[in-house]
Amino acid sequence: AEYDHPMGPASLVAPAPEYHFVPEFDKRELRVSLGSPTGRRLRPGAAGLANRFSDPDDPFYAEALLRFAELELTTIKHYTGWYWREGSPRERRNDNADPSHIDWSGFNFGPFETRMTYMRRIGVRPLLCLDWANPYGVTVDFVGPPDTWGPGEIAEYAEFAEAVVTYAVAPDLVDPPVAREPFDIAGIQPMGEPNLTTRGSRNPSTERDLILDQYVRIARAVVERLRQHPDPRVSGVKVFSPGVTEDIWGGSQRARWIGRMVDELPGELAVVGYDPYSKLFLEELRNYRTDVGAIRRLLEDACSEAEIGFLEFGIHGGPPTFDNIYGSRNSQLYLFGAIANAANAGLTYPYYFS
């Protein structure tokens, strides 16, 4: 506590090697103040790992099985892109020109099936984040960035969402039927960090409302498509939204997106969330409680029963030292403080991204 760091308060990142340091403590003692029971249950999960669940011989699988059990993780975020429509990496194609009719031969669910099977073995329920581009950064040729979508492209994306959910939870409805038990999923998230992925070429400073308006149109199309499905396994899937980045346009943007989604889709969102990456100082930990508390009050004012989630959450802040943060004493203190403060204010789902 008495260390006079040349860059000021104890930051988890440093801009140059001469400022790198590992904090040392005279006493390894942690004081935790417990108040009255809150009655809340935390459902911690992981993000950023799902694409590793593809090779049965990968030693990562055995390690993941151990870690998930040790940490009692109940869910994992699976980034799911339109690359399932691809015949090959060089032949990306739409299933057909009719968004009201799913052509199952136009999808490649092989990698998804493998990853979902692994997750079931580990005992976690995936949150399916339905991205518009694939997880490897290859965009989909037959449709441009989401900011350019008209009704036709939005309808195609909603069809994609229906196909993914149906394949996961109602495999007997696929043509031809898939002979396995349904996968147990936590829900879906229409796009990850939509204030980034939806903006395309739009200016985030002057066209914020246009970006948000477009995401509302996309999310509403997905929800309506699913709710109209005749099978309750599909129509009853939970929706997590919006997963907006925390402070890219100031902290008020977080509440702006969540408040708009709650107003536009009343009663439809099981979880509202955002992705807090911007806090890098131990002195900022109390702000997690303040931020989540503000969202809780927003939900109460809207008479919403939605739970709150960090749909991605991490302590990294970029190079050069972010790889050295994980596993340090400083990161342990930070992670505990962040989750404890947020959980006390009403957080349910923290998806830790690494």
Of 341, 311, 157, nearest to 246 (Cα)? 311
The residue type found at 321 is T
Q: What is the pLDDT along the chain (354 residues), one digit of tens a residue?
A: 444 444 444 444 445 555 555 555 565 555 656 667 777 788 888 887 655 565 666 777 677 777 777 778 889 898 887 654 444 444 456 677 788 899 898 887 887 888 888 888 878 899 999 987 654 443 444 567 788 889 998 998 999 999 999 999 999 999 999 999 999 999 999 998 888 877 767 776 678 888 899 999 999 999 999 999 999 999 999 999 999 886 555 556 788 899 999 999 999 999 999 998 777 677 778 889 999 999 999 999 999 999 999 999 876 544 444 455 555 666 777 788 888 889 989 999 999 886
Separation of alpha carbons 280 and 71, rounded Å = 24
Determine contact, residues 292/255, Cβ cutoff 8 Å.
Answer: no
3-state secondary structure of 91: strand
Other Cβ atoms less than 10 A from the Cβ of 120: the count is 15
This prediction has a pTM of 0.83
- My answer on whether omega of the bond before 17 falls inside 30° of 0, hence cis, is no
